[in-house]
Amino acid sequence: MDSTKSSHAACGIRVVATTIAVTRDAVASARHQLNDQVFQHIIAFFSIEHDAQILIDELRTSFPDTPISGCSTAGEVGPLGMMQGGLVLIAFPETGFRILSEVIPNIDTAGVERASEIARRLKMQMIGGASRVFKDNVFAIILIDGLSNKEEALIAAVHMSLDDIELIGGSAGDGLAFRDTALIHRTTRVEGSAILFVIESAAPFSVFKTQNFEPTPIKLVVTAADTENRIVYELNAEPAAREYAAAIGLLPNDLGPFSFASYPLVVKVGGDYYCRSIRNMNPDGSLSFFCAIDEGLVFTVARPRDMVRSTLETLERIDQDLGGTDFVLGFDCILRRLDAESRQVRHQVEAIYQRFGVTGFHTYGEQYNAMHLNQTLTGIAFGKSPATS
């Protein structure tokens, strides 16, 4: 059943989520919920079931005075819970926030160099020549083409240029088709790109990440790979899919998104473990990944911990630190949603998200400061009280 629901945070951010399938009707319903108010910037997260160009045209008509940016998803999160086939609009008010944004073009070629320049420029435009510490009231968001395979280099460059400004974001998805993602900047579609936002907030905020897996003793070494395209051909000198399947007690033909979600592969970096999740199995028995891989890389097979508990603990801690949570912008890995569904805890996770006002999308990868991650929820939580200087 189609529906539309909105929420209004104390900091002034308005959110509308709709499952209406017809794009024109979905945008019209969202426009109605926002009561013809003028906003500083709207960020849109949308299913690929909405044709990107039609959506752009409708948004441009319905919000002619408001810049709109965003991306396609592998699922949406908002006041209606976890959606597939939906549209979420996050509308920033004219007061209380200052938003600068720019496209990082051609990330397949000159993206890294351009990313550094753009990040430095946006930072300087935001903070000017002042000498105070700006990390207390400025943060950055990045949306990246989730099929680009360029997230790691891009994030490292942006994070270095932003320095003390915390960075979060997500990789755009396309359901689970892995064919064509879409990004929008100021109501124009951009190809093979990323979008960087630098935002000043009058409301207090906290950037966070949460993950729910633990390592097992099982190790898998990458012995043959196409690193440019993130494809692993051999693990432990055996065909990759067959060796991975054997490690988790399945047959290769039984592998799929749910098994990849349930048995993630992790690598140890600086004393902590980070997911390098499998995207899909290829016809030749190789495995494509969401994150960068290399020959000689040692994977550890992991098993999930209690997602409900780990998510609740993180958001409760943030809530306590902020003195109450007003709104959360979240970037939630598609594999977390699949794992929640396979373990029949999706409704419990949705209830937690709605309790804390989590809005965002299911990603093909999450960004957290200098790291490109998988199987995490990264986000920024805003507090209810005004920021102190």
pLDDT in tens, 6-21: 999 999 999 999 999 9
What average pLDDT is seen over the chain? 93
Separation CA 328–CA 30 (nearest Å)? 20
In a 3-state reduction of DSSP, which class is residue 316?
helix
Helices (H), the chain: 23-33, 52-62, 111-127, 151-162, 240-248, 257-262, 307-322, 334-342, 346-356
Residues 67 and 189 placed together within one structural domain of the fold: yes
Residues 273 and 310 placed together within one structural domain of the fold: no
Last residue of a domain, one of 273, 304, 335: 304
Residues 182 and 220 placed together within one structural domain of the fold: no
Average pLDDT over residues 354-366: 97
More confident residue, 22 or 127: 22
Last residue of a domain, one of 256, 287, 304: 304
Residues 169 and 244 placed together within one structural domain of the fold: no
Residues 313 and 389 placed together within one structural domain of the fold: yes
Residues 192 and 221 placed together within one structural domain of the fold: no
pLDDT in tens, 256-306: 999 999 899 999 888 888 889 999 999 999 999 999 999 999 999 998 889
Q: What is the CATH number of the domain that holds 256?
A: 2.40.30
Separation CA 263–CA 274 (nearest Å)? 13
Average pLDDT over residues 172-186: 96
Residues 294 and 309 placed together within one structural domain of the fold: no
**The total number of residues written for the chain in this structure:** 389
Residues 105 and 30 placed together within one structural domain of the fold: yes
Question: Can you say how many angstroms the Cα of residue 362 is from the centroid of all Cα atoms in its chain?
Answer: 6
**Residues forming beta bridges with residue 231, ordered by sequence position:** 226, 288
Residues 6+ apart with CB under 8 A from 260: 277, 278, 279, 280, 335, 338
What sign does the CA torsion over 26, 194, 67, 204 have? positive
Long-range Cβ pairs for the range 237-242 (8 Å, 24+): 239/285, 239/286, 240/285, 240/286, 240/287, 241/281, 241/282, 241/285, 241/286, 241/287, 242/285
Judge whether residue 151 has pLDDT over 70: yes
User: How deeply is 296 buried, as exposed, middle or buried, from its count of CB atoms within 10 A (0-12, 13-18, 19+)?
Assistant: exposed
State the total domains in the chain: 2
Cβ contact 228:219 at 8 Å: no
Last residue of a domain, one of 282, 304, 326: 304
Residue-number span of the structural domain to which 339 is assigned: 1-211+305-389
